[in-house]
Structures are given as structure tokens and as C-alpha cells.
Amino acid sequence: MQKIEVDLFTKFKFISQMKANPSKNMLAFLSAKADEDKNNYVYDLYKIENYKMAKLIQLKDNSSFVWEDDSTILFPYAKNTIEEKQRKEFYTIYYRYNLDTKVVSKAFEFQFPTNLIKRIKNKLILSSNLSKQDEVLINCDEKTRKQYLKDRKIDLLYEDIDQIPFYFNGQGFVQGKQSSIYLYDIESKEVKKITDETLKVGQILISKNQRYIYYTATPKSQLQVLYTNVYRYDLIEEKTEVVYDKKAYDIAFIEFIGDQLICAATDQKLFGLNQNNDFYLIKNQDLELFAKFGQAIGNTIGSDVRLGGQSQTISESNRLIFIATIDDHAEIMSLSSDGNIETIFKANGSVEGLTMVEEKIYFVGQLKQRLQEIYAFNHGRDQQLTRLNYRTIKDYYVAKPKKIVLKKPTHEVTGFVLYPIDFDKDKSYKAILDIHGGPKTVYGSTYYHEMQYWASLGYIVMYCNPRGSDGKGDAFADIRGKYGTIDYEDIMNFVDLVIKKVPQIDETKLYVTGGSYGGFMTNWIIGHTNRFKAAVTQRSISNWVSFFGTSDIGFYFAKDQTASNPLDDVSLMWEQSPLKYADQVETPTLFIHSDEDYRCPIEQAMQFYSVLKYKGVDTKLVWFKGETHELSRSGKPHARIKRLNDITNWFENH
């Protein structure tokens, strides 16, 4: 078997945007692959019909599409250098692909940046995230456009900030911008805004009779609110009505079961921001409990081999089909019209997207240590339909995760161990502890590229889901005000258990790494024990006090998770900050951070790095330019390769 190389992920195919056509007799999806020469990702559009897959067209770096009807697909595209320039100057150009004739033609051109949601008769539903100044581009003449572009060059020199958040990870500065819904009349080419100036739109849902646009929204405010309202726009009468606006729930999504509008929502009263959702009926401008669930709706299994989003729900006749994360795996579940919830499919791994074709469930999954593929599920059996990644890792050593469960009187911690290539029980091995982000996510038994790479290099790799993780209900995930206590205890007890069960581990050659929450925990570990030979902390939190004022989610996430804030109890925030314990750090530590990471801003790494450098600890900071919090998952290929090489070299050199 071949050893996995650091850049093998550049050969992987990443599946996203799986969508059925209007008649639900076929589906289309995107498959992305790294382009190392251009240092980005390119997307191919495929279809599956009668269980057979066919490639339709390459979309360059465009990662979205919309079914116009059963035979045509619309997608944003820049066909030549002139259109590339137009796109940079706030044009959006959509092309049409005809599945029957295989002809590509220009369909629609807009004078502002926008996303096409759906075509209904002679109208297009559009979504845009614009500032008041940007809206001048809508229906403007060429003179106005030129003046706007001239003024914008000056505006780019500064930001006038009067709101929180003022920037957002992956979006840049969001000051003054709000997401809104627009209608485009195909005949007149006029654009009309249909949502209120005071609202920021979230999810958009079209009724089955295509008369109504339902949407979630939050009030535009100088301080982001943590509740969600629901509205309905009547396309015939051209008016909006309130569906729900009690300011009491955070709504994850809205959907239909038959004619009933339901939502997944939480009031956050018992367990704060991370409290799991239950299902509610939206009725008489209020929420009525429809089905108690209390588990994680959606897929929260971490991965570094997926790229792009997927729909995680299907509204099908009198039931809602959805993905849930249970313990260390994903399940496809059904919510019936009478409120009954049952498991349809229990995955050996991860389920990442759903759609319905010819009354069968189709899903994107990572099953049994395979990379992403599309499966059809019918009558209790899953049938693999694609082989996009079959040959990619076929001849490589892929370590099979061995599950190890830490059992305590009050709870259990699920974890895994990967054994290295050519494992010999009579030899000793170096070992890496990898800690997930979140903290409310989980590790599963899916393929994880960085860990498999280390196993091919001869490391034993261990990882687990301590308290704070998802998949085991609200109480297990609740570590508010307890960061660095019960979670640290679980992780270190798990390490002890693994060493006991795998005596081949050399205890003098233990290494630790993690990103986001995993970076926080790495920072915490090196301030509380010297048992690790070296550490690599990625996109981490080191100081909750400064995180409160610099992160895009800081002012509410830090307050919720530390059960304190800078005004009322700064000492409790500082007690839970790894930087407080920097004087105890002796472990050689590498910091990896991106300067456009607005979730855990780079100042978090700068502070800890500077203190350790001042203290004389062996340390280094790798500053990635132009990357975000998603570096390890969707960063540019060259950056991802450098990141993994830097982590590995740090361990190898220590």
C-alpha cells in the first residue's frame, strides 16, 4: 500500500449543491477539485438520471447553480476577460445550459452583485447583500454607475463603523450591508426590492403553489440580535405579512410538512447559544411545540475533505426528512405530520446533503472511510451511485479508526485511534492528539486527511469527543463557564486510556494540535501540563477578554460560553483564558493563523506568541495572508499544503 502524501487532497472530488429538478426525476450537483496551477478550485456540473451519472459542463470557479425548469440550468459565469472585468465591477451574469441541446447561452445580466434563488413564471427571485450606497446600482443608468465606481475607490480606503459585528468571517466587512430579496421582471428588466429596509434576510422558502415567498429575518440593528422572525410575501397581491415576530426564538430553518409551516428553533433558556433545536408549528403568529427532539439537527461531524454547502432537509408530502448528529455519526431521520420522529438510516460515518428523486432519498455521504459519494436510499438499503473518488485512495494506506470509549460514572467519551502504516506491536511509536473545533462539533469515523497523513508517516493518532462536544444532548455539550476544566479532564483521561490500551505509544513523544476550540484547548493544555513534546495551535482563542471585542461573534459568544463579560466579571473571563497561564508554558509551540480569520482574529495568536517569545519558549508564528477561519478545510490549495507541512515539520523537528 502507498503512503498518503500531504498533497493527495488536491486529487479529491468535493461534492456540493446536490439538487433535484422540478419534476424530481433527476438531479444535478457540483464536483470541485483543486487547481494547483491557479491555486483555487474548479467546479464541474454533473447530472444523475436513471441512476447514471454524466458530466454536463465545467463552471470554472463558480460554485452555484439553479434549475430553471426540467431541461435548463442557470449559473453565474464569466465567459471571457471582458465579463471577468464586469464581474469585478459589480455585474452578475447568468448563463443558461440546455440539457437536451447541450447549448450554453447568456440568460440574464444584472448591474449589481446578486444570487438567483428561483424563477417563477416571468419573475426571478434574487437575494443580495448590499449597502444603501450599493443599491444605487439597481436600475441605474451608465452615468450613475460610473460615478458609483469612482466614489467606491475612495470608500475602499476606510470603514465607518457603528455596528457589531462590523466584519464577518468569509465575508469581509459587513458594516451597513443587509441581505434583502428582490424581484426581477424578465420582460421589463426592472428590479424591485420586496423586503423591508429594517430587516436582514436569512433563509428563503418558496411555497409549493409558488404564490408565497416565506423568509426568516432579523431586525437590522447596531448590535446583532439573537432571535429570528418569519415573514411571507404574496407574489400576486404584492404585499408582506408577519408570520412570527415574538422575539423569543432563534430559528435554524423553516419548512413545510404538508400544508403546515414548521421550524427548528430554540429559546436558548436552559443551555444558552448551543441549546439544541426542537420542532415547532408556526401558527397564529406564534410557535407551538410540534415535536421535542433535543438532539443535534444537521451534520456537525468535522471534516477536511468537503467543500461547499448542501441541503440537509427534504419536505416530502406529509413528512420532513432531515439529518441529525447522534454520538459520533449521522442519521437520516423522519418527522411525520403527527410529530413522530424515527430513524430512517444510520450512517457508518457522515451524511452531508439530501434531495428526493422519484420518491427515493438521495444523499451525499462519507461512509466506511470513503470520500464523498452520492447514494440512493430505498427500502432500507443504500446504493452507491457515483465513483468520483474511488480510485483516488484505492491504493493508499487508510487507517481504520479503532473506537475507544472512556467510561465515567456520569458520562462516556467516545474517541478513536488510528494505527500507523506497517504497525508492529513490538515497536514504539510517536503519537499525536488532535482536538476538534466548536466545541459543539464531533469527530466521527470518517476519513480525515491530516490524520491519515500522519498515520502514513508512522504516528499513532488519537482524537475524541469530550464534554462540550455535540451528539450527546444539551447537558453533555454545556461547558459554559467551565472551559478548561471538565473538557480538559476528559481529554487528558482519554489520552491516559489510549496509552494504557496501546502500550506501543512512547510517552516521551506525545504531540498535540487543534484548531478553533481545538486551538483554545491546545493553548490551555500547554499552560497546564508539560507532558507533550511539542504543540501546534491553530486559529485559536487565547484571551477571552480581547476576543469579546474583536471576533465577529465575540460579544455574544464569549459572554455565553464563559458566563461572564468584560463589564461585570472580567476576572472570570481571564480565569478561562489560556494567556493567563503563559508563565507556566515550556512546550515548544507553533502558532498557525490567518489574517482574514474574523471568527478567531489573528490577534489571539499574536498575544500568546509574543508572550512565549518574550519568555524564551521555542515558538514560531505562521501568518497566512488572505485566508480565513476555514484555512484547513477550504483554504487555497498551496496554503493548505504549507499548513500541513508546517505542523508535521514542527513535530518532526521536536
Instruction: Point out the residues that are catalytic.
Output: 516, 629
| 3-state SS assignment for residue 196 | coil
- What is the side-by-side order of every strand in the sheet holding 177-185? 115-120, 123-131, 177-185, 191-193
Q: List the grid coordinates of 175.
A: 458594516
Q: How far apart are CA 600 and CA 481, in angstroms?
A: 19
Q: How many CA atoms lie within 13 A of 406 on its CB side?
A: 26
Angle at 100 between CA 99 and CA 104, to 5 degrees: 55
* In contact, 532 and 540? CB cutoff 8 Å: no
Q: How far apart are CA 48 and CA 29, in angstroms?
A: 8
With cell 475602499, the residue in question is 156
Mention every residue, 6+ apart, whose C-beta is less than 8 A from residue 48: 26, 27, 28, 29, 54, 357, 362, 374, 385, 386
Q: How far apart are CA 349 and CA 512, in angstroms?
A: 24
Residue 46: strand pairing partners: 29, 55
| 3-state SS assignment for residue 98 | strand
* In contact, 373 and 382? CB cutoff 8 Å: no
Rounded to the nearest 10 degrees, what angle do helices 637-652 and 449-456 cross at?
40
* In contact, 513 and 536? CB cutoff 8 Å: yes
Residue 229: strand pairing partners: 217
* In contact, 342 and 385? CB cutoff 8 Å: no
Q: How many CA atoms lie within 13 A of 194 on its CB side?
A: 28
| 3-state SS assignment for residue 125 | strand
* In contact, 562 and 615? CB cutoff 8 Å: no
Q: List the grid coordinates of 443.
A: 469527530
Q: How far apart are CA 478 and CA 216, in angstroms?
A: 27
| Residue 368 backbone dihedrals phi, psi, to 5 degrees | 50, 45
